[in-house]
Amino acid sequence: MESGKEQAAANCSCGDICTLASRRVFRVEGMDCVHESGPILSALSALPGVGRAVPSFADSTLTVEYDPHAVTPERIAQAISEAGFKANVDDRTAEALTWWERYGRLTATSVSGIALAAWLILHFMGIHPRVARQLLLLATVSGGWYVARRAWQALRHGQLEMNTLMGTAAVGALLIGEWPEAASAMFLFSLAQLLEARSMDRARNAIRRLLDLSPKEATVRRQDGETRLSVDRIMVGDVVILRPGERVPVDGIVLEGTSAVNQAPITGESVPVAKTLGSPVFAGSLNGRGMLEVRAEKPASESSLARIIHLVENAQAQRARSQTFIDLFARYYTPAMIAFALALVIVPPLLYGQPFSTWLYRGLVVLVIACPCALVISTPVSIVCGLTRAAREGVLFKGGVYLEDLGRIRTYFFDKTGTLTKGKPEVVHVRSFCDVPGEELLRLAAALESRSEHPLAGAILVAAGRNEASKGLPAPTFVQAVPGMGIRGKVDGGIYLLGNPTLFDNGSGLSGPQRAAVEEWERKGATVVLIGIEKMPLGMVAIRDTVREEARAGLAELRRLGVSELTMLTGDNPETGKAIASQLPIDTVHAGLLPEDKVALVREAVAKGRKVAMVGDGINDAPALASATVGVVMGAAGTDVALEAGDVALMGDDLRKLPFAVRLGRRTLRIIRFNVAFALGTKAVFLVLATAGMATLWMGVAADMGASLLVIGNSMRLLWGSNGSRILVADGPNRL
């Protein structure tokens, strides 16, 4: 599978620049369409030291890779300005706009509309035609002010884009005396661009709201007392004071206090999470009613929130397959449509003696209809809305390609420990084989295990800590490990053994009923630890990793979504694997696996032509995650390794977010397909009408820009809903 970095490198044509390049994101005011970016890209290509430039129309940004020794960000911004657009050098803070930059398009459109309305009134009243013509000229010039500027910049750089086509059509209409048509077309086009910009801003604001989650300042306690500091000045180790209702500025660990923290922006959890001593907190979370003292573990630039924003921005540069196809299609579509318009103007008059003015007008209408704006924004707006919605729910996609792929996958491989199970073994049963009470046996076992770091030892110590009778554990002496079997030590003056059945005379020390009890719990997927004296077990402790409740719900939902294969991969013994799988809707279990065995199974499925998702914790499963079509990482919040390992990151430990992500991917695909079909269908219908002389300039403008507004609005439906469940309900279980 091609990784995001490999895909970016494959798309790059800047030679050796990228290996040494700096990378900067520029906010470009008014860049809403691929044809508007043409003059910008042409201007940047002429600058020495500039490598790849990737526009994102959904959030009006331009990501530029450049050699800092050859060119500065200020020079890049200047080149963008020379192409007719305003660029903000700082990708985090927008420069102040002048009054005209903020309201100029609205003013020009309003003047054009008022002039056109006045002409209509005078026309119906039969007022002097000279005044009426002046009003039409004012409506045309006002509505076409921005069109003419952008068209001129495009022509300077040898580009043919929608403003050039619209400007040509308006001038042509004036030359053949169709002044009302020119005025109507320019007003409608200017109005549509204004509405389109406002609609696009709504989608952009959804991304920019992520930036607002981080506070600008925080209270920090240092040696000289408490002080308010800018968040970017908080250093690792600083103690941050979080008052009720404040947002967490950096990732950290609670040192003092208790509170409930709403960390939905990071993990997507809908219920506030209790935080006490030692609990992790994430930047962007909202503190509840308690006061917390938090030790900063990372600077603000490396927090979970900063990585989320970075990944969302990077994801827009990783172009989805449908987006790449549309861009390639548009590259040939526009020249073909211009050639068709020219043929429509020239061929009928020359070969068939038709009136030139008639076919010139029809050719101009074709030029208007040829604008591919609705087509080229149909995919990127959908992708960025989907990525933003997912990030808001605690699901991060590293690129639009993974959003599309996850919607198509029907085969899922799951790591067991930490993914389907909690990854924290628990004592589930204690049984005495003699007169010694179970509580006493657990106390003795915990005393022996107090010197061990084994995960099973932790489970026994936790269970003993919950048991009143087991408090005040005695200190063991003469503790000795028995390799492969267990431990031996002296507790309360007696020598005790703790371990597996082979520790007790190779298992022959167990009676029939005792052996049956051990085998019963092993069949249930538990690890059985015996405690006793030399050659004679006194009792048993059964320890088991429990299945996550949300795993049951998540896998059941995937099954309802039509997923055909759910496979569990584990390094545990087959009996444990089967016991865990029996509690879940799992089709196949592969047990006793080494990491390389998991990779081999994933690669085998991919080699058979199946799209495969591997779901794991992102640490031990990194090779298998990289081998799958899509690697999904669980519990990635605060974990650098986990975020880097997969293509999709579930920031929380809730596996129910996976069906949400699948539904979102499928819904995004449906919206993209509808947008593309609608845009192409509208073009086809109006091309036929224009060729037959049944469409006018204003109708062409209304059709083209109406289609653009519709695909934007349709894409923005992906942002609707407050949580993942809204999408689950809205789309229904069978709408694939």
Please state the pTM of the whole predicted model: 0.68
Do residues 284 and 266 make contact, with C-beta atoms less than 8 angstroms apart?
Answer: yes
Poorest-pLDDT segment among 610-614, 618-622, 647-651: 618-622
Do residues 518 and 492 make contact, with C-beta atoms less than 8 angstroms apart?
Answer: no
Cα–Cα distance for residue pair 441/444, rounded to 1 Å: 5
Do residues 657 and 728 make contact, with C-beta atoms less than 8 angstroms apart?
Answer: no
| Best CA proximity match to 686, nearest among 700, 701, 674, 705 | 700
Cα–Cα distance for residue pair 499/24, rounded to 1 Å: 59
What tokens does 24 get? 């900067």
Q: For every residue of 354-383, which 3-state class applies, written as one string? A: CCHHHHHHHHHHHHHHHCCHHHHHHHHHHH
Q: Half-sphere exposure of residue 357, counting CA atoms within 13 Å on the CB side? A: 6
Cα–Cα distance for residue pair 35/38, rounded to 1 Å: 5
Residue matched to tokens 């790059």: 12
Percentage of the chain surpassing pLDDT 70? 81
Q: Higher confidence at residue 125 or residue 559?
A: 559
Residues of the chain with CATH 3.40.1110.10: 426-544
Those residues whose C-beta lies under 8 Å from the C-beta of residue 732, and which sit 6 or more positions away, are: none
461-490 tens-digit pLDDT: 888 876 654 456 777 888 887 776 788 888
Scored b (16 or more CB within 10 A) or e, 276-312 reads eeebbbbbbbbbbebebbbbbbbbbeebbbbbbbebb
Q: What is the DSSP string of 275-318?
A: E-TT-EE-TT-EE-SS-EEEEE-S-GGGSHHHHHHHHHHHHHHS
CA 677 to chain centre: 25
Over residues 288-314, mean pLDDT? 81
Do residues 357 and 174 make contact, with C-beta atoms less than 8 angstroms apart?
Answer: no
209-259 tens-digit pLDDT: 666 677 888 999 988 788 999 888 999 999 999 999 899 999 999 999 999
Looking at 238, 251, 415, 653, which residue is catalytic? 415
What tokens does 260 get? 């409930």
Q: Half-sphere exposure of residue 398, counting CA atoms within 13 Å on the CB side? A: 19
Residue matched to tokens 């068939």: 352
Cα–Cα distance for residue pair 685/625, rounded to 1 Å: 46
| Best CA proximity match to 616, nearest among 655, 575, 674, 585 | 655
Cα–Cα distance for residue pair 294/220, rounded to 1 Å: 9
What topology does CATH give the domain 217-302?
Answer: 2.70.150
72-123 tens-digit pLDDT: 888 888 888 887 777 776 544 444 557 776 788 889 999 999 998 998 888 7
Those residues whose C-beta lies under 8 Å from the C-beta of residue 237, and which sit 6 or more positions away, are: 295, 296
- Residue 634 has a pLDDT of 84
Do residues 583 and 552 make contact, with C-beta atoms less than 8 angstroms apart?
Answer: yes
Question: 80: part of which helix (H) or strand (E)?
Answer: helix 73-82
Map residue 54 onto helix, strand or coil: strand
**Confidence tier at 204 by pLDDT (50, 70, 90):** low
In 492-591, DSSP assigns E strands to: 494-499, 527-533, 536-544, 565-569, 588-590
Those residues whose C-beta lies under 8 Å from the C-beta of residue 203, and which sit 6 or more positions away, are: 58, 59, 381, 384, 385, 388, 712, 715, 716, 719
Cα–Cα distance for residue pair 250/261, rounded to 1 Å: 14
Cα–Cα distance for residue pair 697/361, rounded to 1 Å: 8
- Residue 431 has a pLDDT of 92
Which strands, in side-by-side order, build the sheet including 22-29?
50-56, 61-66, 22-29, 86-88
Does the pLDDT value for residue 566 go beyond 90?
A: yes
**Confidence tier at 59 by pLDDT (50, 70, 90):** low
Q: Higher confidence at residue 88 or residue 406?
A: 406
Which strands, in side-by-side order, build the sheet including 527-533?
426-432, 536-544, 527-533, 494-499, 486-491, 477-482
Do residues 190 and 144 make contact, with C-beta atoms less than 8 angstroms apart?
Answer: yes
Question: 139: part of which helix (H) or strand (E)?
Answer: helix 129-143
- Kindly report the CATH class assigned to 426-544: alpha beta
- Residue 41 has a pLDDT of 83
- Residue 8 has a pLDDT of 37
Cα–Cα distance for residue pair 21/73, rounded to 1 Å: 12
Does the pLDDT value for residue 201 go beyond 70?
A: no
Does the pLDDT value for residue 735 go beyond 50?
A: no
What tokens does 139 get? 């409506």
- Residue 312 has a pLDDT of 64
Map residue 215 onto helix, strand or coil: coil
Map residue 492 onto helix, strand or coil: coil
Those residues whose C-beta lies under 8 Å from the C-beta of residue 64, and which sit 6 or more positions away, are: 23, 24, 25, 26, 44, 50, 51, 52, 53, 76
Those residues whose C-beta lies under 8 Å from the C-beta of residue 728, and which sit 6 or more positions away, are: 557, 659, 660, 663
272-295 tens-digit pLDDT: 888 999 899 988 888 988 899 999
Q: Higher confidence at residue 544 or residue 100?
A: 544
Residues of the chain with CATH 2.70.150.10: 217-302
Does the pLDDT value for residue 9 go beyond 50?
A: no
For the chain, give the number of residues. Answer: 736
DSSP state of 89: S
β-strands 565-569, 411-415: how paired?
parallel
Does the pLDDT value for residue 10 go beyond 60?
A: no
- Residue 503 has a pLDDT of 82
Cα–Cα distance for residue pair 601/616, rounded to 1 Å: 14
Q: How many CB atoms lie within 10 A of CB 707?
A: 25
Residues of the chain with CATH 3.30.70.100: 4-91
Question: The dihedral of CA 31, 33, 37, 39: what is its sign?
Answer: negative
Q: Determine whether 90 is an active site residue.
A: no
- Residue 168 has a pLDDT of 82
DSSP state of 475: P
600-619 tens-digit pLDDT: 999 999 999 899 999 987 66
Do residues 672 and 666 make contact, with C-beta atoms less than 8 angstroms apart?
Answer: no
Burial of 475 (0-12, 13-18, 19+ CB in 10 A): exposed
Over residues 629-654, mean pLDDT? 77
Question: 616: part of which helix (H) or strand (E)?
Answer: strand 612-616
CA 711 to chain centre: 21
What tokens does 128 get? 């002097």
Burial of 734 (0-12, 13-18, 19+ CB in 10 A): exposed
Cα–Cα distance for residue pair 499/455, rounded to 1 Å: 13
What topology does CATH give the domain 4-91?
Answer: Alpha-Beta Plaits (3.30.70)
Mean pLDDT of the chain: 80
